Structure 1
Amino acid sequence: MSRTVFCRKYQSEQEGLARPPFPGPKGQDIYENVSKQAWQEWLHEQTMLINEKHLNVMDPEAKRFLDEQRDRFLNNENYEKAEGYVPPAHDANK
């Protein structure tokens, strides 16, 4: 049986992550308070930010930016979105 957490993004009990996404207190906090769904959505947003803004993830400034945006996203605060992204239109004929 998968573990559940009270997800701070969705404010409901949801399936939790199998393990902390990275070491340290912040990874443990995410493990205990963020759902698997919210984390997967963040990874998608993070990828778009990295690609659209041409971020070098080895650059400390880029890492700080992504950390801040992650915290905002997971806390339901305004976060910076990829400027050029347009979500695909839903085709009702499919």
Structure 2
Amino acid sequence: MSNTVFCRKYQQELEALPFPPLPGEKGAEIQRTVSRQAWEEWQALQTRLINEKHLNMLDPETRAYLMEQMERFLDNRDTDQAEGYVPPSS
């Protein structure tokens, strides 16, 4: 059986991340409080934001913006969306 965490986004026990997704204390905190499902969903949104908004990851302001969006996403608050993104139809 895999490890689980009480996910702050979904407010239930879900599969844990196998390792911290970021360096330092922030990564350890995310590993303790965010499920694998929530993190994978954040990564998909982050990729859309980077691609659609043409973000430069070398810019410290861009990285700060993405960290803010990540916190908002994981806390179930409104986040920016990629303009023009159309989700695939099921």
TM range (shorter): over 0.9
Match of 2:72 in 1: 72
Unaligned runs of 5+ in 1: none
C-alpha distance in 2, partners of 1:70/1:22?
A: 12
Unaligned runs of 5+ in 2: none
Matched, 1:26 2:26: yes
Deviations 1:12-57 (A, max 9, x none): 0000000100111111110000000000000000000000000011
- Aligned to 2:14, the other structure's residue is in SS state strand
Q: TM-score, normalised by structure 2?
A: 0.96
Higher Rg: 1
Aligned residue runs from structure 1 range 2-21, under 5 A: 2-21=2-21
The Cα RMSD (Å) is: 0.7
* Runs of at least 4 residues off by over 2 Å: none
Deviations 1:63-87 (A, max 9, x none): 0010000000011011111111011
Q: TM-score, normalised by structure 1?
A: 0.92
1:89, CA displacement in angstroms?
2.0
Aligned residue runs from structure 1 range 28-67, under 5 A: 28-67=28-67
C-alpha distance in 2, partners of 1:29/1:78?
A: 21
- Aligned to 1:18, the other structure's residue is in SS state coil
C-alpha distance in 2, partners of 1:28/1:84?
A: 34
The farther-off stretch of 44-53 and 22-31 is 22-31
C-alpha distance in 2, partners of 1:64/1:38?
A: 20
User: How many percent identity over aligned positions?
Assistant: 60
C-alpha distance in 1, partners of 2:80/2:71?
A: 11
